[in-house]
Structure formats: C-alpha cells, structure tokens
Amino acid sequence: MARPREAKLSREIIGRAAIEYVEAGNDLQLVPLAKKLGVRVSSLYHHVRGREGVIQAMRHVLVAEYVPDQPMQEDGDWADRVRREVETTWRLYTDHPRSLALMLTVVIDEPDVMRVYSTLVDALVEAGVPDDEILTTVEVIDAFTFGAALDALSPDQILEPEEADGKLGELLPGHLVGRARNRAMFDHGLDLLIEGIRSRVDRASG
Amino acid sequence: MARPREAKLSREIIGRAAIEYVEAGNDLQLVPLAKKLGVRVSSLYHHVRGREGVIQAMRHVLVAEYVPDQPMQEDGDWADRVRREVETTWRLYTDHPRSLALMLTVVIDEPDVMRVYSTLVDALVEAGVPDDEILTTVEVIDAFTFGAALDALSPDQILEPEEADGKLGELLPGHLVGRARNRAMFDHGLDLLIEGIRSRVDRASG
DNA sequence: ACCTGAACACCGTTCAAGT
DNA sequence: ACCTGAACACCGTTCAAGT
C-alpha cells in the first residue's frame, strides 16, 4: 500500500487542512497535520515544499476561494466600488486571522493582488485622484485593511479601564469589544480614508 | 565557574541581544542567541520564560527605548500632535520590522500603550471628534500605523510591471520602491486620515 | 541567585525502498 | 508518481548539581 490508486494528497487538500488546523487554534506543525490527513509527514513533501510550502498552499486556497478572477460589477460610484473590493480582502483576512499571521512570515510567490489593485486604481481614477497619488493611495487602503485585520488577533483587554485616567478612562468602559469593536474600527477607518480622498480631490479641483 | 560574581545576563541584556540577532536577519533561536551571549541555553531560563519570554523582553526593551514616560510637548494644533505621537510608534516599528513580526505571535503583557492612546484621545477631543467616535478613531490610526509598518516587510516586487495592464500597468514603472515607497505611503495615509477627520468634524458642526 | 551539562520529547527534512 | 519508514541534525525545555 505504498502508492494508492488515487492520490490521497494534493496542494489544495493540504492547504485546506492546514487552514482548518491552524484556525482551530493549533500551531502549524507538520506531524499532526499529516496525522489529520491520514498520512506520514514525509508524504507532504511530494506536493509541497516543506512547512513554508504548506503556508503558501494555504494562501493559494484562500485566494482561489475569495478573490474572483473576473472584475466585479461596476455599478455604484467610486467609493462604493472601493468598499466592495476591500470587503472581499477583509473577509479573507478576518475569516482566517491565524492563517493571516502565518502568511506574514513567508514570501508570497503569486501576484494575485493584481486584479484587486487594478480595480482600486480604476476607482481612484474616477474619483479624480491625480496620477502621482493613485498607487500610494491604493497602498494606504491595503495597509489599513491589513492592519485592521491583524488587530482582530490581539486580545481584547489591551487597555485596563481601571488604570486609565482622564478622557481615556472616561471613554473606555462604554467602548465596544471583540469582533464588533474590530468591525466598527474597520468601517470607520474606511469612511475616514474615503472622506479624506474626497476632500483632497475637492480642494485641488477648486 | 558556575555562578559568576556579576550576573552575565538580565532581561534587558537578553532582549537587546535578541533584537540585534533578529534584525540581522536570523530566525529567533535560543541556542545561537545564547552562544552570542557567551552562555548556555539553559541560563536564559533564569531570566526569561522561554522563547516567548525572550520576545516579551524584546518588546520591553523597545518600548523603554522609544516610548517616553512623560506626555510629549503640547504645542501645535491637534493634527501636529497626532503626527508627532504616531511618529514615535512608527519609528519603533520600522526600525525593527523583523522584531515586530515576532511580537505579533505573542500576547502582550504590558499595557504601555496607555500613554500613547491618552495623547491621541486628547488631540481628537481638541479636534472636535464626538465622544462616541474618539476611541474608534484612535484604533484606526493605530491599525493603519501597524499595517503600514508591516508593509515594509513584504518584498518590493509584489506586482510585476510586465504583467499589469491598463492604468495600473501605466503607473507601476514610475512608482517609488523600497523604504522611500513605504515612508511615502505612511505619510500619505496619515494625511488622508487627518483630512478625513477634519472634514467629518466640519460637516457635523455645520 | 545564577550558570552548567546532561537528558527528554519533539521538530522539519531527506532519501532509499516499495508499488 | 506517490506513500512509507528509518535516519539526521536540531530545536525548546527541564532539572539536579555546582558555586
């Protein structure tokens, strides 16, 4: 039974299993992962380049699942389109925060961000952002989305209400917590960025 | 020579050595770290709780070095104060991007962000941000700074200019790269956020 | 209190052997 | 082509022993 008639593994199977395993709260370790797959560790190496390859497989699976190949529908104004596009990335991230943290440690080999960037560029052109600010603005949106998603990883009580004084101490007790806090923060940040872009364009054009 | 007259190690010494070691491009491994310190691995455990403790010591050292205990000078308008405060955090992050990525993996035990948050809260009060938006706005600024700093970790050519078409393909060749790109992105993002905050407050107050 | 050295369980990776 | 099993170098952690 050294070689089964049908392969028990594939890059996709390994990637998906790793995502499940990691999001369940486990560290990514190949021995237990292989066990979960009903296979020995060494088998993984026929499909994936070691531990790093597993992480890339995870990314591959998530992108295939979340990021559509075709451009999205183009209705609505530029701000709507930005929101819709970023929402996709946001979902990918926040549905798999622990996988996201892992992906941070490996070099990305697939330039799949291309379509996402392209959509954002087109939306910003429509918004009237000057050429020499467009890519930088796209990067800003990207960085914020990323940072906001990672924020979901940090434990809730970074700030102990008891130790805070002044206005901060006054505001902390009534503040949102958990996923709701994280989501509200993301929405508000996107609002501020869009508002900032709009205001900047308005001022420049008169 | 089992116990030297003066201790060869301390939490600070270990933390500082680990930062140097990691920022030099190495993975954080205790055996080589101990060697660098002229000591056996097991000695580290007298000062720090294992590998995770080393990472916390790294954070401790960096915060002590970068984040002042006392509030910063209060001159300038609220936007200036926000910029000044965030610049400190930004420096801490971007001067040590690889340490930053490591810190992401451990739970922070010290609530040292308190003072930073407090300063930002006060600045936003002055800006006229309504109470129920203040903390969320602070979190937005924090998340963006964090995401922007991590952006420095990703390799420069995520997007191959050759494969891009349309406006994106037109803009890519002339775009900044490396640290300059990262810094320009951070500055622009902060501009947009501040502009967004200002515009939002103006609209609400009439 | 602090450093050592040996011991432990476990990890990722390689590779010849089997179908 | 794909799974196995053994072997390898190495890792983090623990702990009794030494000063």
Of B147, B154, B159, the CB nearest to A144: B147
The reply to whether the CB atom of residue A5 sits less than 7 A from any atom in nucleic acid chain D is no
Identify the DSSP state of B2: -
The reply to whether the CB atom of residue B106 sits less than 7 A from any atom in nucleic acid chain D is no
Residues of B in contact with A171 (CB under 8 A): 121, 131, 134-135
Distance of CA A105 to the CA centre of its chain: 14
B55 and B140 in one domain? no
Q: Which of A66, A100, A115 is the last residue of a domain?
A: A66
CA angle A167, A182, B144 (to 5 degrees): 80
Q: Which of A44, A66, A88 is the last residue of a domain?
A: A66
Residues 6+ apart with CB under 8 A from B68: B88, B115
What separation, in Å, do the N-terminal and C-terminal C-alpha atoms of chain B show?
75
Structure tokens at B50: 């294992």
A161 and A96 in one domain? yes
Q: Tell me the average pLDDT across A154-158.
A: 73
The CA distance from A22 to B1, in Å, is 45
B86 and B75 in one domain? yes
B22 and B86 in one domain? no
Nearest Cα to B121, choosing from B133, B104, B103, B105? Answer: B133
pLDDT the model gives residue B111: 67
* pLDDT tens digits along A45-79: 999 999 999 999 999 999 999 988 877 777 899 99
Q: Is the dihedral of CA B66, B70, B71, B74 positive or negative?
A: negative
Residues of B in contact with A165 (CB under 8 A): 118
* pLDDT tens digits along B168-177: 999 999 999 9
What separation, in Å, do the N-terminal and C-terminal C-alpha atoms of chain A show?
75
**B39: pLDDT strictly greater than 90:** yes
pLDDT the model gives residue B74: 79
The CA distance from A164 to B118, in Å, is 8
The CA distance from B121 to B136, in Å, is 10
A182 and A140 in one domain? yes
The CA distance from A78 to A81, in Å, is 5
B101 and B21 in one domain? no
Nucleotides of C under 7 A from a protein CB: 1-6, 10-19
* pLDDT tens digits along A159-177: 777 778 899 999 999 999 9
Give the mean pLDDT of chain B. 92
Residues 6+ apart with CB under 8 A from B51: B28, B30
CB contact (8 A) between residue A166 and residue B118: yes
B179 and B82 in one domain? yes
b (16+ CB within 10 A) / e for A141-168: bbbbbbbbbbbbeeeeebbeeeebeebb
**B52: pLDDT strictly greater than 60:** yes
Q: Name the residue closest to C13, CA to C1'.
A: A50
pLDDT bin (cut points 50, 70, 90) of residue B187 is very high
- B interface mutation test: which of A136, A188, A190 has the most B CBs within 10 A? A136
Nearest Cα to B124, choosing from B89, B79, B90, B87? Answer: B79
A83 and A42 in one domain? no
For residue A89, the domain's CATH number is 1.10.357.10
For residue B5, the domain's CATH number is 1.10.10
The reply to whether the CB atom of residue A31 sits less than 7 A from any atom in nucleic acid chain D is no
CA angle B76, B77, B83 (to 5 degrees): 85
Q: Which of A66, A85, A108 is the last residue of a domain?
A: A66
Residue range(s) defining the domain that contains residue B26: 1-66
Between A66-75, B49-58, B84-93, the lowest mean confidence (pLDDT) is in A66-75
Between helices B113-127 and B131-151, what is the axis angle to 10°?
Answer: 120
The reply to whether the CB atom of residue B7 sits less than 7 A from any atom in nucleic acid chain D is no
Full-model pTM? 0.94
Nearest Cα to A135, choosing from B154, B185, B40? Answer: B185
A87 and A62 in one domain? no
The CA distance from A118 to B10, in Å, is 51
H, E, C per residue of chain A: CCCCCCCCCCHHHHHHHHHHHHHCCCCCCHHHHHHHCCCCHHHHCCCCCHHHHHHHHHHHHHHHHHCCCCCCCCCCCHHHHHHHHHHHHHHHHHHCHHHHHHHCCCCCCCCCHHHHHHHHHHHHHHHCCCHHHHHHHHHHHHHHHHHHHHHCCCCCCCCCHHHCCHHHHHHHHHCCCHHHHHHHHHHHHHHHHHHHHHHHHHHHCC
Q: How many structural domains is chain A composed of? A: 2
A74 and A15 in one domain? no
* pLDDT tens digits along B12-33: 999 999 999 999 999 999 999 9
A190 and A103 in one domain? yes
A81 and A156 in one domain? yes
